[in-house]
Structure 1
Amino acid sequence: MEFRGVMGGLYRISEWIMRLSVINLLWLICSIPVFFFAFMGLVSPSPDALKSMLPILAILAPFTLFPATSAMFAVARKWVTGEEDVPLLKTFFRSYKENYLQSMVGGIFFVIIFVVIAVNYFFYLKQGSSLRVLAILFIAFTVIIIISLFNFFSIMVHLHMKIFQILKNSILITIGNPINSIVLLICNGVILYICLTKFNFFLVVFFMGSIMATFSFWQFNRSFTKLQTKQQALEEKEQQRLAEAEAVAEAEKEQSDSDNGDEPIEISLHKKDENEKNKE
């Protein structure tokens, strides 16, 4: 039975609330170790508790948080590409299994990059004023890597590539599309800020991750579709140019054949010679 009007709108809204909340809960459940230690660090009265938890979080994230996030992006991809009624549990856990290895390797890569950036940032921050400027440069690197992380998950669930190609393309897309990258960063930052400051527990548990994943893949798919359209237009122009060049070459060849009257005689004599040899 299909509802229309106000009831139809309310039904669709409730359906999307259910979808987003289910996927967000699955994401949290599959990432329990990471969120548990992060929560313990945040609620601890010690000011250095969260810092002491960072090494544990860095070790656990590639094996729990990254595979769960890739599965959440895979479901978001289905929604964005028009498959809204996919089975949520089946799609999530199948994608979790299929993308586990690539997401784990990618997680290790990004964790190492973040550690290197953090070490260099705090090192240069303690130096003199001339070297302290380099700390700002590492902040810029952090922003690029964070945006690349969203593109990494979108590419992994959308395209068949090897892990190093995914990592390379995620960084190239981030740098090559600065406007889209800035929009992606600002919008996800706003979502994160609202979820952490307004109704923080409710939104974090039920909506934060799934909304960010859906928006991130929508933004990526929009840019990717435009890139495909441009590439297809260039290929069509190239094919048209080659076809015109072949047509010109064929016309020149026909003109050359018509001007040269000896060429058909050579072909005839050649065939005749072959027949005479066969008779002998």
Structure 2
Amino acid sequence: MVFGGWKGKLYWVVEWITLLAVLQLLWTGLTLLGLVLFGISPATVAMFTTLRKRLQGEDVLKRLVKIFWNTYKVEFIPSNKIGIILLVFGYFLSINFQIITSFHGILGLLLLTSIITISILFGIIIVNIFQLYTYYDLPTLRYFTASIIFSIAYPLQMISTIVGLAILYKIYSLIPGLLPFFGISLTALFLSWISSQMFKKELELEEQTHLSNCSGGGVTS
């Protein structure tokens, strides 16, 4: 059934609200199913994969739920390789931060600057890595470097991401009741939309390069 005018817009809004609520429930449930530690990475990958499919035009809720569940199962072990590396690195980063804050003078300032810089890079990796994982098939460690490279290559998208996340944080602070129902899914939707613009540009650039190579290769003397 297709609605027009305000009914169509209302239906579109209700459809998205329903999807986000369902995805939030799935993410929470499957994260707990993996005992949190081993469930959060595959659940997050499944979230981004499902949202990517939705942004590409898939709008049947039943199929999107199936995509979420199938992705979770398939990516349980592979995605946990990334999740464990992030967890271990984050743990050592926090420990080193506590140690470095006890230093004083020039040495303390230099070490603090270094740890803050590394923490910013770590934050960039966390924001980008699972989205890259759903788009590209790379060796595990390549996702970490690719996360930083993409942020450098597309600074406007990264700035937009930071601003958007700050706005979402403000909204969640003002209306904390949104967090249990839309906290993760709405944030993932925003990140997916931003990344879709970035990956679209990357695909267009690859296509242009491919066409240029084909045109150049077709010239004979």
Interval containing the TM-score (normalised by the shorter chain):
0.7 to 0.9
What is the deviation of 1:61? 4.8
Contact 2:39 2:76 in 1 (8 A): no
- Where structure 1 has 5 or more consecutive residues not aligned to the other structure, the ranges are 35-59, 249-280
Q: Give the Cα separation in 2 of the matches to 1:223 and 1:144.
A: 19
Deviation at residue 25 of structure 1 after TM alignment: 1.5
Moved over 6 A (4+): none
Aligned partners of 1:124 and 1:135 also within 8 Å: yes
Return closer, same or farther for 1:225/1:28 CA change in 2, 3 Å cut-off: same
Counterpart Cα distance in 2 of 1:220 and 1:145 = 18
Contact 1:147 1:184 in 2 (8 A): no
Please tell me whether the aligned partners of residues 148 and 174 of structure 1 are also in contact (alpha carbons under 8 angstroms). Answer: no
**Structure 2 counterpart of 1:219:** 194
Relative to the length of structure 2, the TM-score reads: 0.88
Mapped contact 2:151–2:158 kept (Cα < 8 A): yes
3-state SS, counterpart of residue 209 of structure 1 = helix
Q: Larger Cα Rg: Structure 1 or Structure 2?
A: 1
For 1:76-115, list aligned pairs within 5 A.
Answer: 76-87=51-62, 88-115=64-91
Equivalent residue pairs, number: 219
The 8 Å contact of residues 63 and 104 in structure 1, kept in 2 or not, is answered as: yes
Partner of 1:125: 101
Q: Does 1:141 align with 2:118?
A: yes
Query: Residues of 1 paired with 2:169 and 2:40: CA distance?
Result: 17
5+ residue gaps, structure 2: none
* RCO comparison, higher one (Cα < 8 Å, 6+): 2
Deviations 1:158-213, CA, capped at 9 Å, x for gaps: 23333233333223223433332232123123213321x1221x211111111111
Match of 2:13 in 1: 13
Q: Give the distance between the partners of 2:33 and 2:168, measured in 1 at CA.
A: 23
In structure 2, relative to structure 1, the CA distance for the partners of 1:240 and 1:105 (3 Å cut) is same
What does 1:189-204 align with in structure 2 at a 5 Å threshold? Answer: 189-195=166-172, 197-200=173-176, 202-204=177-179
Distance in structure 2 (CA, Å) of the matches to 1:190 and 1:129: 36
Check whether the contact 1:24–1:206 (CA below 8 A) recurs between aligned residues: yes
Task: Tell me how far apart the structure 2 counterparts of residues 62 and 174 of structure 1 sit (CA, whole Å).
Answer: 27
TM-score under structure 1 length normalisation: 0.71
Tell me the residue number matched to 1:72: 47
CA distance in 1: counterparts of 2:182 and 2:198, whole angstroms: 24
